Amino acid sequence: MILFIKHIDIEGPGTIGDFLEDNKISYTIVDLSNKDNLPELKKTFQMVVSLGGPMNVYEEEKYPFLAEENVFLKEVIKKDIPFLGVCLGAQLMVKASGGTVSKNPKKEIGFYTVSIDEEGLKDNVFKNFPREITVYQWHGDTFNIPEGGKKIATSELCENQAVKYGRNIYGIQFHVEVTRDMIAEWAEAYEGELESLKGIVAGKQKMLEDYDNLKGEYLKQAERFYVNLFSSANLLKRKSYSLP
């Protein structure tokens, strides 16, 4: 059983959920924005995935569930439970492991190039990946590398794009899970942010066009990442994946 932690209704598992369903791996979702409670960490949870959201990790007064998740993730880290943090989820993991989260010099919204460094290329999660990959981004904050962690990917505008902590705990600043519908929905929900950055970051139409052009390779890249991630956590014996 895999536990997904959602922070807003429109940022769900996406293609991660598709992959798990194709491979008959069970998962459950708690939506903290819907006042769901975090469960006790039992042996039935073989992995935890914390997803994205528009809030910042330091907005605990506005979003009290962030403080609750911080305590929960400290326990995940202490027990060395396999973990993936995506965007906000990665920042929350870094904070729980003693690192810091702050404003990035520039916002990244749209498709960007990320470079996997030497540590990353040696790591199981990026096995058989090229040195440079195209990823989808939507973030204004960044994290440092906590003591005991390793940086495994970087980019021109954001130094720390992926981090590994412990044996099987990962945080990625970018999104591997997005679908075309998710991009369209985010662009509408966060229209004000896009308008404030007009001419600086990609708009809705450009992002959708880029997705259409990149879709085939992007989904194969996501599949490769999921195979590596869930195999490393001993959750995947034989893979089956139907591209949406």
pLDDT, tens digit (0-9, with 9 covering 90-100), for 92-141: 999 999 999 999 999 999 999 999 999 999 999 999 999 999 999 999 99
Residue 58 identity (one-letter amino acid): Y
Look at 42-56, 60-74, 103-117, 197-211 and tell me which has the smallest mean pLDDT. Answer: 42-56
**pLDDT band at residue 243 using 50, 70 and 90 as cut-offs:** low
Q: Give rounded-to-5 percent helix, strand, coil for the chain.
A: 35, 25, 40
pLDDT at 43: 75
Q: Rg (Cα) of the chain, in Å, rounded? A: 17
Tell me what percent of the residues of the chain surpass a pLDDT of 90: 94
**pLDDT for residue 10 is more than 70:** yes
CB atoms within 10 A of CB 179: 18
pLDDT at 204: 97
* Contact between residue 2 and residue 20 where contact means Cβ atoms under 8 Å apart: yes
| Catalytic pick among 11, 158, 175, 223 | 175
Is 175 an annotated catalytic residue? yes
Non-local CB neighbours of 132 within 8 Å, separated by 6+ positions: 113, 114, 115, 116
Look at 31-45, 63-77, 190-204 and tell me which has the smallest mean pLDDT. Answer: 31-45
Is 177 an annotated catalytic residue? yes
pLDDT at 110: 98
Task: Report residue 208 CA to chain centroid gap.
Answer: 20
**pLDDT band at residue 240 using 50, 70 and 90 as cut-offs:** low
| Catalytic pick among 11, 69, 108, 177 | 177
pLDDT at 41: 87
Mean pLDDT of 182-188: 98
The whole-chain average pLDDT of the chain stands at 95
| Catalytic pick among 87, 108, 139, 223 | 87
* Contact between residue 172 and residue 153 where contact means Cβ atoms under 8 Å apart: yes
* Contact between residue 70 and residue 94 where contact means Cβ atoms under 8 Å apart: no
Mean pLDDT of 79-95: 97
Is 139 an annotated catalytic residue? no
**pLDDT band at residue 180 using 50, 70 and 90 as cut-offs:** very high
**pLDDT for residue 242 is more than 70:** no
